[in-house]
Amino acid sequence: MFIKTTDNMITKDEIIEIIFNSIDEINEQNRSSIPKEASTTLFGSQSELDSLGLVHLITSIEEKTEEATGKNITIADEKAMSLSYSPFKTVETLANYIKTLVDA
């Protein structure tokens, strides 16, 4: 399912695929049904995830991103928390944010 790429290259679509895989895992563990769409709200009043669920999801995404790119990234850190537009809002904003981390 994961495309191993060189030079840490990974497209946004591939990142979204990773996020969907992690959502599958979370749904299986929590018996929840978070939809796999780019517009899915990950955190906020519209979201099925509470803060703990978000932490589980992020950790899973970090692990999968590392598997795919060989790059160890930290998605949730002080920097992410202090951005004026939260990267955790939707699947799409999160994918954009991860892309900047992987490309950095």
Partner 1 sequence: MSFLLEKFEEYAELPAIIFLGKTFNYRDLLVKYAEAEEFIGDKNIKEGEVVSLTSDFTPNTIALILALVNNNNIIVPFTYSLKETEEIKFDIAKVQKSIFVNADDCYTLEEKGGTGEHELYATIRGRNNPGLVLFTSGTSGFPKGAVHDFSKLLEKFKTVRRSMRTVNFLLFDHWGGLNTMFHTLSNGGAVLTLKDRRPQPVCAFIEKHKIELLPASPTFLNLLLMSEEYRNYDLSSLQVISYGTEPMPSSTLERLKKVFPTVKLQQTYGLIELGVLRSKSKSDDSLWVKIGGEGYQTRIIDNLLEIKAESAMLGYLNAPSPFTQDGWFRTNDEVEVDGEYIKILGRKSEIINVGGEKVYPAEVESVIQEINNVAEVTVYAEKNPIMGNIVCAKVRLIEEEDKKAFTVRLKSYCNQKLASFKVPVKVSIENEQQYNERFKKKRV
Report the interface residues with partner 1, using CB under 8 A: 25, 28-30, 50-56, 58-59, 76-78, 80-81
Least Å distance, CB 52 to partner 1, is 5
Task: Closer to partner 1 by CB, 21 or 96: give it.
Answer: 21
Task: Closer to partner 1 by CB, 14 or 62: give it.
Answer: 62
Least Å distance, CB 15 to partner 1, is 18
Least Å distance, CB 73 to partner 1, is 14
> What contacts 24+ positions apart, CB below 8 Å, involve 19-27?
19/61, 19/91, 19/94, 19/95, 20/91, 21/64, 22/57, 22/60, 22/61, 22/64, 23/57, 23/91, 25/60, 26/53, 26/56, 26/57, 26/60
